[in-house]
Amino acid sequence: MIGKKVIFRSRGLPLLLLAPQLLVILVFFFWPAGQAVYQAFHLADPFGQHFEYVGLDNFRRLFNSPEYYASLWATTVFSAGVAIVSLGSGLLLAAFVDHVRRGRAVYKSLIIWPYAVAPVLAGVLWLFLFHPIYGVVAFALARIGIGWNPLLNSNQAMALVVMAAAWKQVSYNFVFFLAGLQAIPRSVLEAAAIDGAGPLYRFRTIVLPLLTPTTFFLLVINLVYAFFDTFGIIHAVTHGGPGGATNILVYKVFADGFIGQDLGSSAAQSIVLMVIVVSLTVLQFRFLERKVHYG
């Protein structure tokens, strides 16, 4: 069925219909972005009322700060952990559900539910499970002799926020991986099975290459998610601690700007963070896309 094409006699009505969305983008994206660029080159008082032009001083101070490089390393570890765990778990669950014949809809609904949970709530749930005093999982670990205290141990704190952030994103990856698996022609897999190829061999040589477009897309989305959308989880679970071990870049922007009242440094960090994410995305499209098989 071909949709009916609407032709406007003038540009006034289309622009009027687009005006609310354009206004939202202007107010909530371009205006804050412009403010960040302006503040990155100025020194502001704690109340943001008076600004003094300082050129690139905020950026120089940022790149001479050991704390910033520690935060950059924490972000690298956190993002890589979230991408690996969430992509691996999503693919594994999709592969299992793809072979289920009874109750598939129930499994899909149960796996998709976590995506509807707000990041802050996801962080609180995982903190309740793994809290060293009242956490059920922490209690079970203590009973088998495993010490667990993410409030004091930096490695355990990083592991906890990675698990919480990955759990939140597994549902998203699962949906795309399952759609990709169901798009693979069954005749190809059946022909390989007839030729004697085992399940793991078929998965490695047929399924994974055909899933590379989906995997590449999800890799970009997961890295952007880890860099920007995990603030609520960090804030709910660790507040960037202990000792700055989970103080990733997006949380440091908040901590320096709203807690430390250093608006210039916070604005400079937000610009650097945006440049890092855009650069990573361009590099992924420049180099990794060459290995993607589009069929």
Spatial distance between the Cα atoms of 161 and 246, rounded to a whole number of angstroms: 8
Q: What is the pLDDT of residue 167?
A: 93
* Residue 46 pLDDT greater than 90, yes or no: no
Domain boundaries, the chain: 78-245
If DSSP states are collapsed to H, E and C, what string results for 167-210?
HHHHHHHHHHHHHHHHCCCHHHHHHHHHCCCCHHHHHHHHHHHH
Of 67-71, 216-220, 262-266, 282-286, the poorest mean pLDDT is in: 282-286
Superfamily of domain 78-245: MetI-like (1.10.3720.10)
Averaged pLDDT for residues 269-283: 87
* Residue 281 pLDDT greater than 60, yes or no: yes
Q: What is the pLDDT of residue 284?
A: 77
The 10s digit of each residue's pLDDT in 201-256 is 888 888 888 888 889 889 989 998 998 889 999 999 999 888 889 999 999 999 98
Q: What is the pLDDT of residue 237?
A: 92
The 10s digit of each residue's pLDDT in 113-156 is 888 889 899 999 999 999 988 889 989 998 898 888 888 999 99
Smallest CA-to-CA distance from 264 within 56, 63, 26 is with 56
